[in-house]
């Protein structure tokens, strides 16, 4: 039986793939690593210091294009909803501006990194309107773009 990739393995495979493609990694995180950067809701939306904080699994830049990844070892609908909130809302605009202040950014895309299997691919297709892209990792760590709204991985 084939072993399922962990979220950490998926994140590391995507990090390697992004760097091979010429992307600069701004920050990354995987479970229990403590390496990530928290995005906090705008001041007027906060009720407590850390409530509502989001820690992207990968933030990368190439040219003036920024990518935000939420990675999982399986399809999780709530992550698609979270990514869609970042993509369509402005609740985290101050944190995003602070994180990206030293970069010349013209566009930001929000997506997911997931293991490649038929179930995940079907679920991505069902919910692709919530994300800008989906990158999938196979058991041998081969990483491919499964879905992208715009050609951002060129």
Structural domain contains residue 2: no
What is the value of pTM for the model shown? 0.91
pLDDT at 47: 54
* Per-residue CA distances from 118 to 7, 61, 128, 141 (Å): 18, 30, 15, 16
State the residue range of the domain holding 24. 7-148
Structural domain contains residue 89: yes
pLDDT digits (tens, 9 = 90+) for 22-77: 999 999 998 777 778 888 888 665 455 556 788 999 999 999 999 999 999 999 99
pLDDT digits (tens, 9 = 90+) for 124-154: 999 999 999 999 999 999 999 999 988 888 7
Structural domain contains residue 113: yes
Other beta carbons less than 10 A from residue 47's beta carbon: 7
The residue with greater pLDDT, 52 or 117, is 117
Residue 52: CATH number of its domain: 3.40.1350.10
Structural domain contains residue 65: yes
What is the tally of structural domains in the chain?
A: 1
Given pLDDT bands bounded at 50, 70 and 90, which one contains residue 8? Answer: very high
Structural domain contains residue 36: yes
C-alpha angle with apex 65: 22 to 118, nearest 5 degrees?
Answer: 75
Structural domain contains residue 74: yes
């Amino acid at each position: 039986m084939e072993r399922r990739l962990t979220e950490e393995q998926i994140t590391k495979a995507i990090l390697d793939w992004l760097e091979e493609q010429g992307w600069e990694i701004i920050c990354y995180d995987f479970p229990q690593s403590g390496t990530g950067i928290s995005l906090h809701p705008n001041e007027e939306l906060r009720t407590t210091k850390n409530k509502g904080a989001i820690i992207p699994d990968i933030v990368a830049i190439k040219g003036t294009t920024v990518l935000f990844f939420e990675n999982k070892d399986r399809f999780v609908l709530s992550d698609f909803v979270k990514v869609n909130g970042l993509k369509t809302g402005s609740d985290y605009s101050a944190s995003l501006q602070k994180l990206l202040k030293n970069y010349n950014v013209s566009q930001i895309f929000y997506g997911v990194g997931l293991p490649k299997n038929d179930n995940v691919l079907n679920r991505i297709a069902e919910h692709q309107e919530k994300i800008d892209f989906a990158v999938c990792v196979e058991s041998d760590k081969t990483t491919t773009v499964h879905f992208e709204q715009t050609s951002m991985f060129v």
